[in-house]
Structure 1
Amino acid sequence: MTLFNHYSALFFSGFGYTILASLIALVASLILGTFFALLQLSKKRFLAMLGNAYVQFLRNVPLLIITLFFYLAVAKVIKMTGFVSGTVALSLYTSAFIAESVRAGILAIDHGQMEGALANGLSYGQAMSRVVLPQAFKVALPSLGNQLINLVKNSSILAFVGGLDLMYQGNLVAASSFDTFTSYLVVGLFYLVLTLPLSYVMQYLEEHLQESR
């Protein structure tokens, strides 16, 4: 494709930024999601309410609104680029869905696992991190896999705030070349390069875990 050859540097640059944003958001959302899942399950009413409020708010507000809030409002107080604004918004938004997946995974684990760990001298934190959470993540793996794929696709939100990602570069190419169809076809193929392998890896892991049970 002549268009791809001519603008390949832009496409690969955007591809790199998309991967970087996705990796950062994945790590951040897993940490935040797990933390707020534990808050939701806290026996302290205030902490449980705080966790629920966080999850329900972010799940029910469009990702674009969250992104623009950080780019147009927060950036006036704390200087941040479009890439940073978009990545932070993507991390927070995804963490709410991961929190629900992890919470469901924890609830699916027999309560006797926690009781047994505590009876063997482990603290609550040790029992949760060493016994309950590893099993909960296995149970929640299909849901977490879906969230990972959604995260990669949702990273296109960075294009709205000049985040230099794949969609942003695709917009530039489309505007420069006046070949909208080919530009977005190439962008779509790049996303498939990311999401299709992830789908197969997650499918393999799910089957592997089912066989090991």
Structure 2
Amino acid sequence: MQTRGDFPWWLVAASALGLYFLWRIVSDDLYSQVLTTLSRGVAITLFVTVVGFALASLLGLLLALGSTARWLVVRQAVRFYVEIVRGIPILVLLLYVAFVLAPFLVELWNLIGLPEARTRDFPLIWRAILALVIGYSAFIAEVFRAGLLSVDPGQIEAAKALGLSSWQRFRLIVLPQAIKTILPPLGNDFIAMIKDSSLVSVLGVLDITQLGKVTAAGNFRYFETYNVVAFLYLAMTIGLSLLLRRLERHLNRKP
């Protein structure tokens, strides 16, 4: 039975705040102009987040599998990567990748003998995505590792006894059970990446935050402009948070 304390009053308050800003956007020409300008950055923010998170999840899964490998050198190499990357702030990692790693990769590209490239040929948006992939893959690797280790070893041994291959054991036994453990923190990392994607504005990438900075510098209406910036981020993060909670409850109801 749900108690009165369980009622999501926070959601009611957040919805009321959202409706207020929607009313201001509809009724106030300044808010409408700012929203029209910033809406161009929504696509960039979502592109950086979705592509970055997909690649970070793939790399994180490979790192998690490496952390459970039989070979000591592989496990230690993965642990080295995870601990070093997790200790670097995302902003510092973003600047390092953009101005140190990217030029190095371009030089390496030229040394291999491929068609000559220059550092400016490496778009800033892809430098930002690479930084997010490196940074978040270390955190996601730990999420996957915890999920994989949560599966009862006895079931894996039973699958081996039935003659299932490593891929079949992973696909049919391990992953379906691990997903319930993996999904909540993985969803939280996705929401966190939406917020951290705002850091790409330091490279001049025209996401929501960068367009907000440019707009505010032009109209000097910082209050209204950053209200719209915050509204756009909150609409995405709270909406995704509610969707993930619903998906989590659906998975928990499954036998």
Q: TM-score, normalised by structure 1?
A: 0.94
Q: Could you tell me which amino acid in structure 2 is paired with residue 86 of structure 1?
A: A
Q: Could you tell me which amino acid in structure 2 is paired with residue 199 of structure 1?
A: S
Q: TM-score, normalised by structure 2?
A: 0.79
Matched, 1:104 2:131: no
Match of 1:34 among 58, 61, 64: 61
More deviation, 72-81/193-202: 72-81
Are the counterparts in 2 of residues 71 and 80 from structure 1 also a CA contact under 8 Å? no
Deviation string for 1:25-81 (max 9, x for gaps)? 121111011110111111210111111111111111011111111211233243322
Aligned residue number for residue 230 of structure 2: 188
Aligned residue number for residue 16 of structure 1: 43
Aligned residue number for residue 123 of structure 1: 165
Deviation string for 1:140-185 (max 9, x for gaps)? 2111111111011111111011111111111111111111121111
More deviation, 11-20/135-144: 135-144
More deviation, 184-193/112-121: 112-121
| Structure 1: tracts of 5 or more residues without a match | none
Question: Whose Rg is larger?
Answer: 2
For 1:156 and 1:70, the matched residues in 2 are separated by 16
Deviating beyond 3 angstroms after TM superposition, the runs of 4 or more aligned structure 1 residues are: none
More deviation, 146-155/125-134: 125-134
- SS of the aligned residue for 2:227 comes to helix
Q: Could you tell me which amino acid in structure 1 is paired with residue 250 of structure 2?
A: H
For 1:182 and 1:208, the matched residues in 2 are separated by 39
Aligned residue number for residue 48 of structure 1: 75
Are the counterparts in 2 of residues 33 and 99 from structure 1 also a CA contact under 8 Å? yes
Identity %, equivalent residues: 33
How far off is 1:9 after superposition?
A: 4.1
| Structure 2: tracts of 5 or more residues without a match | 1-27, 107-120
Are the counterparts in 2 of residues 41 and 48 from structure 1 also a CA contact under 8 Å? yes
Q: 1:80 to 1:10 in 2, by over 3 A?
A: farther
Aligned residue number for residue 183 of structure 2: 141
For 1:134 and 1:152, the matched residues in 2 are separated by 27
For 1:206 and 1:189, the matched residues in 2 are separated by 25
Q: What is the aligned residue count?
A: 213
For 2:159 and 2:69, the matched residues in 1 are separated by 18
For 1:171 and 1:6, the matched residues in 2 are separated by 14
Matched, 1:207 2:242: no
How far off is 1:83 after superposition?
A: 1.1
RMSD: 1.5
Matched, 1:58 2:85: yes
Are the counterparts in 1 of residues 35 and 228 from structure 2 also a CA contact under 8 Å? no
- SS of the aligned residue for 1:43 comes to coil
